[in-house]
Structure 1
Amino acid sequence: MNTPILSDIPASDLAILTIARQPVLDAKHSVVGYELFDRSIKRQDFTAASDAALLFNLLSSADSEVLSGHKLIFINCTHQTLAAGHLELIEPERVVLEIPPMPLDQSEPEDIETYRQILANVHQRGFKLAFDETVLTPAYSTWLTLASFIKLDVSRLEVAQLKAIVAQANQSTSAKLVAEKVETAEQFEHANTLGFHLFQGYWFAKPVLIKGQTIRPAQAVIIQLINLVRKQASTTEIEEVLKHDPTLSFNLLRFINSAGFGLSCEVTSFKHAVMILGLKKLFRWAALLMTSASVGASSPAVGSAAVVRGRLMELLAAELLSPEECDNAFVVGIFSLLDTMMGIPLAEALASISLPQTVTDALLYNKGLLAPFLQLTLACESADDTAFAETAMALQLTGDQVNWAHLQALAWAENMTR
């Protein structure tokens, strides 16, 4: 097998990545992990689709220093990512998700408790969670039991504040305390004396920049792959598609060998990669890849809306339908804007894809098992109260159930462009 290399890929499909890593050390200056940052994208450029890409770029582009051994990988994670389902593709064993507090305009008790449920689900999957000192305040007390790490900025907090926070943390949690932004020997000694477990900052090492490249496969090839997966094609058939498209195969091998996937050996065979990933994860990976590939051709908001729709329909269907139809509901949602993303009529776009009848019935004819879920999703999106009430009632879903699902689907997209 010829492993795809960057020289095989057209320059127009390449984008420069700049990943930074900074070590996290213990009191003996031994490296226990790395925090990864994406320096390629400006905060205001984030979209729902780029949030997924950011996660995969960080994990897929980490260098051998990060990948070797069993060191922890700290990644800043938005509430949007937590609710989106992207983490289903990541093995949790080595990953620490750094969770920000709720935005000030969303810090109502019910919202904090809603996100607590999302955090609990992620924690149950095996991800370790890190918070800042906000988690020690009364408003966030229900989050505290989920904390594996609490990170404190020692350059920002006064000595008396640090001492009080450490004392409170020692009384109320078993989470390890991490001193961030340690810039002098004095700060390290003081933090060490106070009882911090881990340390990070310029005094130990400045972030190391790792230049790399990401690629955007053509939509047609991704659709071909999705087509094969939906038909449950053989591994050999799927392997043939990967062999004939270096952009797609490069992305897959980079992802399957990423730090986030947690394999103990490198995968160099497409067949092996497909077997390890499985058809369900392969489909979700390809669907998200297609959304990011469409960003250049249409507004980033279109790709964002498509994935939000897919996730919302999947969550709504979970209340009433079989797991197979829940997967189909996701397909309906994510393909409902395919005409806009590809710039052709929806019927023409769907003609090239093998899809279950319930999917095509909902998308093309607004009928069948999944059509009411799409209608309800569109009502949520447009804030059409009448359509919302009528469709929810027809599906025997309460307003609370729909709002809960909508919040989970939207949470990862909120504040992305602020």
Structure 2
Amino acid sequence: MPDTLDSSNPTADAGTAGSDNLVIIARQAILDEQRAVYGYELFDRSTAADAHTAASDAALLFNALSYAGSEALVGRKTVFINCTLESLSGAHLELIHPEKVVLEVPTPGASATPEEIAGHIPTLQDLRARGFRIAFNQEVLRRAYAAWVPLASFIKLDLQAFKPELAQPLVKFATAHSQAKLVAEKVETAEQYERMAALGVKLFQGYWFAHPTMVKAQTIRPSQATILQLINLVRKQAAVSEIEDLLKKDPTLSFNLLRFINSSGFGLSVEITSFRHAVMILGLKKLFRWAALLLTTSRNTGSPPAVGQTAVVRGRLMELLAAELLPPEECDNAFVVGVFSLLDAMLGVPLERALETVALPQPVVDALMHNQGVFAPFLELTRACESGDDEAFARAAEALHLSNRQVNWAHLQALTWAESLTAGE
């Protein structure tokens, strides 16, 4: 169905998890001349907007792509993100596919010297060379910023910042000196819209079209100790298998990585469904950047919660049981089924919604959502091991032709393995 505006309802509710795990991102639509959505400007509403800093820029972009279910948030539309001049050199931009993001860059202000203005040009040129599109406001049309204008992909004209009679000369000047698309922003009346459209402006943003809407998402944040383990592994250039082992130990870490690498901002054309593939696609340099950003947006929650511990036991038990009966390549998927079977509890939202935010192989989804397919009997047996229901345990074990001894030994190994993971924390 076509993209439509909803200026009243959030696209997701907060669920039941704690408020510390709530990411709230406001988006305001940017429309084309047919009133279709061209893109969204995003604003962080999770915390008080005390200051706009390089750190808050990185957090907003990271949260938007990692947490807030990017399909619900922006779909395939262009994302406009406000930046500080300081954040333009930030390593977080290395994680983003340039074609997906427009960087809204402020001018330094009236007190800036010609040397200060010129000093930012190499950074802006480097961003353009890397494929990023840059948006400036109408201040860039001042004589002092003449060297910046050719670098603009968009110029946003704030209709509250200049008198109506200046609209025509501003549009004329911008059109003559740049290839930038013009965006009329803070459009609040039909008259303002018609005036700018008549001047040839093609993109519009403002309350006359839609107020910003809130998009909420629950996050599951790994413990800082686990993230630091990952960072240390990457820094010493550990083998992919060693990094994969750490991802297997923490369901929150692996969930965040798969969701991030499959987000629209990362720009991949195929879905990544295994931890090893994710590590290989991302590479050590980007994996380090991702882990560092995850560390800055996480909180030190101490020991993993009981539900996370149970998820790890399930994953390991399913992996061990699958090793008895399935080909080796299926064991990783069995582990994923076990770990992600408790995503609803970890996120505080229905499992179906949780699974919408991460790419998984169809057999994994079949087991989790429909209790069907090759992994379903293993999940049923794993749950029976937790329940203490002897009849259910016997039925599930018999269905897989596994003896009580085999299952009990695997369960003991899984419990021991999960306990060993947190002993060092």
Q: Smaller-chain TM-score range?
A: 0.5 to 0.7
Normalising by structure 2, what TM-score?
0.62
In 1, Cα distance between the equivalents of 2:270 and 2:74? 11
| Letter in structure 1 aligned against 2:215 | I
Aligned length: 286
Corresponding residue to 1:279 among 281, 284, 296: 284
1:177-216 equivalences under 5 Å are 177-216=182-221
In 2, Cα distance between the equivalents of 1:98 and 1:48? 13
Please state if 1:54 is matched with 2:60.
Answer: yes
| Letter in structure 2 aligned against 1:198 | L
**3-state SS of the aligned residue for 1:142?**
coil
**Against the structure 1 CA distance between its residues 19 and 12, is the aligned structure 2 distance closer, same or farther, given a 3 Å change threshold?**
closer
**3-state SS of the aligned residue for 2:99?**
coil
In 1, Cα distance between the equivalents of 2:300 and 2:166? 45
CA contact (8 A) 1:154 1:180 kept: yes
Moved more, 159-168 or 208-217: 208-217
CA contact (8 A) 1:66 1:259 kept: no
**Against the structure 1 CA distance between its residues 119 and 219, is the aligned structure 2 distance closer, same or farther, given a 3 Å change threshold?**
same
CA contact (8 A) 1:19 1:39 kept: yes
Normalising by structure 1, what TM-score?
0.63
1:246-325 equivalences under 5 Å are 246-293=251-298
**3-state SS of the aligned residue for 2:173?**
helix
Moved more, 224-233 or 78-87: 224-233
In 2, Cα distance between the equivalents of 1:159 and 1:46? 29
Please state if 1:39 is matched with 2:33.
Answer: no
In 2, Cα distance between the equivalents of 1:269 and 1:180? 43
Partner of 1:152: 157
Partner of 2:141: 136
CA contact (8 A) 2:39 2:74 kept: no
| Structure 2: gaps spanning 5 or more residues | 1-15, 303-425
CA contact (8 A) 2:62 2:293 kept: no
CA-to-partner distance for each residue in 1:236-290, whole Å, 9 max, x for gaps?
A: 3212211221232232223212332112343332222212111111122223333
In 2, Cα distance between the equivalents of 1:96 and 1:234? 35
**Against the structure 1 CA distance between its residues 96 and 44, is the aligned structure 2 distance closer, same or farther, given a 3 Å change threshold?**
same
Partner of 2:104: 98
How well do the aligned residues superpose, as a CA RMSD in angstroms? 2.5
CA-to-partner distance for each residue in 1:53-99, whole Å, 9 max, x for gaps?
A: 22211233254255533x21111111121022221111101211111
In 2, Cα distance between the equivalents of 1:207 and 1:62? 18
CA contact (8 A) 2:95 2:290 kept: yes
In 1, Cα distance between the equivalents of 2:278 and 2:286? 11
Sequence identity (%)? 57
**3-state SS of the aligned residue for 1:117?**
helix
**Against the structure 1 CA distance between its residues 47 and 203, is the aligned structure 2 distance closer, same or farther, given a 3 Å change threshold?**
closer
**Against the structure 1 CA distance between its residues 256 and 199, is the aligned structure 2 distance closer, same or farther, given a 3 Å change threshold?**
same
Partner of 1:84: 90
Partner of 1:414: none
In 1, Cα distance between the equivalents of 2:79 and 2:109? 25
In 2, Cα distance between the equivalents of 1:118 and 1:147? 13
CA contact (8 A) 2:186 2:206 kept: yes
Moved more, 20-29 or 89-98: 20-29
In 2, Cα distance between the equivalents of 1:291 and 1:181? 33
**3-state SS of the aligned residue for 1:163?**
helix
Partner of 1:17: 23
CA contact (8 A) 2:54 2:83 kept: no
CA contact (8 A) 2:70 2:264 kept: no
**Against the structure 1 CA distance between its residues 156 and 48, is the aligned structure 2 distance closer, same or farther, given a 3 Å change threshold?**
closer
Partner of 2:71: 64
